[in-house]
Structure 1
Amino acid sequence: MKFAAFSGVLIEHSIQEAMQLTKKLGMDGIEIAVREPHLSAGTSLPRVKEIQALSRSLDLEIPVLAGYVGGFSDASDSEARKSFDEFKRLLDIADHLDAGMIRIFPGGPNAFLANEYHYAKAAHWVSLCAEEARKHQVRVLMEIHNDSLVETAESSLRLLRMIESDNVGMIHDAGNMYITDTDYGRDSVLQLGRYLFHVHVKDELRVAEVGAPGTFTSTTRHGQEKFLQSRMGEGGADHRPLFEALVETGYSGWVTLECHAPFPPYERLEHDFQFVRGLLSSLRVAP
């Protein structure tokens, strides 16, 4: 496995500083959030080339551009077309940065609230993204995310089977799946199978009330629930079954650390990286 920091955790820093901090942490790469001041579909070519040069000088890979485009299932046709055009611009940027994967969002609502037409519309536009991405030898990622069409392994497979493209797959995110209250351990990894392209890790915790830093609400099948963004090992998501399954299945891809707990950014990434390395060490696997 290779490890990356999610640049969105370091969004208060410039992308150059974020890359240098990621290297200091000892990680292999950085997953760049497509959000200013780090990157956008409108980022100029000179800036993109500057990021490319720094990536090479630091020997820091950029495996994923974490886009925010999409929302196809509940977007108007013009909005969906605008997102698609933005995705195509990201493909050109990915070429320069040697990024082999781009994240998009299919849209909502929650899988348990969605109708067939939501999946059909999302499948149409994601298929178009996949077709364009193939020209660039880029893979399309959708993140298993609460409050979305793909908030479980089962709902992810429902959409993937409507797309039928071998360059579209999923980001497994145990933190998001904890929020949804679905399996995020061995069964989910085996269910996703060949569609498991990438992994995000972070921790969350169900709480009684919101208002404190790091708390938020999310709609689940249980209603409106409250959560606290947490450092790994301090929340409610047990990541051990996930990593056991990744080891069992021979997963050799990327794992991105994405902690949004209310601690200084570098400190929380450092904590989570140490936690993951300790977990892998206990499984007798070198990170």
Structure 2
Amino acid sequence: MKIIASSTLLFAYKVEEVLRIVKELGYDGVEIWHFHLIRAGEEKNCAAIKRLADDLGLTLSFHALSWDLNFTSKLDQVRETSLSILEGSLDIASELNANPIVIHPGRVTIPGDSTEEYWQYLVEGVTRLTNHAQNKKRTIGLEVMEHIAKEFFITPHDAKRIVDKIPSPHLGITFDAAHVPLEIEPRDYISQMNKVVHVHISDLTPQKRHIALNTGDRDFSDLIKYLINNNQNNIVIEGLEPERTDRLAKHNINEMNCLIESVKNNINS
């Protein structure tokens, strides 16, 4: 199993620095956030980043822009602008040879609206993005989101519904363990999903998601066992460290290695 670091674990660094740090820490790859490239002024530096990743033997995935976007908005201009920006993220991922590309679904515009009103926009938008991904020889991992206000793509049923509507090899699902409600076992959630192409993991409490591993309320042992048994080979550790330190990235790789070793020992015993 390859352990991938979200670039936001080292958000204060240049992306080229991130690649070197995660290699030294023992990660197998990096999920580069498009916003990280923009923030670091490296959006035009994709060729050099790709070369460095190749030289270091690192796997690259990509997180498309998401903050401030909503391609299921009831406002035509917001939908179109969001989709155009997301197509740009797919273009950048292609330059990096990063795959898959994590894309957030849209949200409802008006709190309390029937979510069914937004599914037409979701299907239209994901179809357009999937066609663009196919042209770029990329795969989209549409992310199942948190159970919070305005999100409507939030359940295994939603994940199954979209891949049934758009049966393309260039569309799959991103499963995020921190988006699963605490009262539900993540293994039970992911086992109900079709075409999971990407997995995110981070800890959570009732108050906060995407915190350091083994600092929250969730036991990931059964999930890791499920991933191993089902040949899910890449797992991305998420989190956000705004300061110029590798402490979060170092903590998470150590915790994940211990967890995987413990699960494998139990499987073999």
Q: TM-score when scaled to structure 1?
A: 0.80
Aligned: 1:166 with 2:182 = no
d(CA) in 2 for partners of 1:244, 1:59: 26
The question of whether the paired residues in 2 share the 8 Å contact of 1:144 and 1:177 is answered with no
**SS where residue 284 of structure 1 aligns?**
helix
The question of whether the paired residues in 2 share the 8 Å contact of 1:32 and 1:39 is answered with no
* Counterpart mapping for 1:107-186 below 5 A: 107-109=106-108, 114-146=114-146, 147=148, 148-178=151-181, 181-185=183-187
Indicate how the Cα distance of structure 1 residues 98 and 152 shifts in structure 2: closer, same or farther if over 3 A, else same.
same
Q: CA RMSD in A?
A: 2.8
**Alignment partner, residue 259 of structure 2:** 279
The question of whether the paired residues in 2 share the 8 Å contact of 1:84 and 1:125 is answered with yes
Deviation string 1:39-84 (CA, Å, 9 cap, x unpaired) is: 48x9654x12221222222222212244327522225222222222
Structure 2: gaps (5+ residues): none
d(CA) in 2 for partners of 1:255, 1:264: 24
Deviation string 1:95-147 (CA, Å, 9 cap, x unpaired) is: 22111221222112499964212122111101110011111111111222213
Indicate how the Cα distance of structure 1 residues 114 and 162 shifts in structure 2: closer, same or farther if over 3 A, else same.
farther
Deviation string 1:229-282 (CA, Å, 9 cap, x unpaired) is: 532122112211111111222222x21111347997521222221121111111
Indicate how the Cα distance of structure 1 residues 26 and 43 shifts in structure 2: closer, same or farther if over 3 A, else same.
closer
Match of 1:257, as an amino acid? I
**Alignment partner, residue 191 of structure 2:** 190
Structure 1: gaps (5+ residues): 207-225
**SS where residue 20 of structure 1 aligns?**
helix
Larger relative contact order (CA 8 Å, sep ≥ 6): 2
The question of whether the paired residues in 2 share the 8 Å contact of 1:127 and 1:165 is answered with no
Higher strand share: 1
**SS where residue 169 of structure 1 aligns?**
strand
What percent of counterpart residues are identical? Answer: 22
Q: TM-score when scaled to structure 2?
A: 0.85
Count of residues in correspondence between the two structures: 260
**Alignment partner, residue 70 of structure 2:** 71
**Alignment partner, residue 247 of structure 2:** 267
